Amino acid sequence: MAAYGARWTVLGLAALTLLELLWETVLAPQHASGALLALKAVPLALVFPGVARGARRSRQWLALLLPFYFAEALTRALGEHGRHAMVAAMAAAIAAATFVALMAWFRTERAAGSRVKFN
């Protein structure tokens, strides 16, 4: 079961990182200087190697980052129109799904650890 949480977390993180990068550069750019908004993908890219290895500290950082990405995407999904809103809604859905998968990973890891310790 932990493998599913881990796989979906890594997959979701990769998808969110790529979407955040493409969002401001190709899919729905704000304006000419909006390309700097693509830098919001950098924190996700920085934690990606650690999360892919299963490092607990990187996963903890990801758990702190994801709510901010979800909130920003949801705000823009509700406040913008057309293609911009659709891309923002996709980012919000991916961020939420990744967070749920990450919490499942932590939960199964904790349950497996507690069984090993006390048995």
Quick one: pLDDT at residue 90? 97
User: Above 70 in pLDDT, residue 9?
Assistant: yes
Q: What is the pLDDT of residue 119?
A: 37
In b/e form, how buried is each residue of 87-97, taking b as 16+ CB within 10 angstroms? bbbbbbbbbbb
- Indicate if the pLDDT at residue 108 is higher than 80: yes
Domain ranges of the chain: 2-29+40-118
**pLDDT 10s digits, 62-106:** 999 999 999 999 999 999 999 999 999 999 999 999 999 999 999
Amino acid at 102: L
CB-based contacts of 24-31 (< 8 A; 24+ apart in sequence)? 27/83, 27/87, 28/83, 28/84, 28/86, 28/87, 28/88
Comparing CA positions, the residue from 113, 97, 111 lying closest to residue 7 is 97
Looking at per-residue confidence, does 37 or 68 come out higher? 68
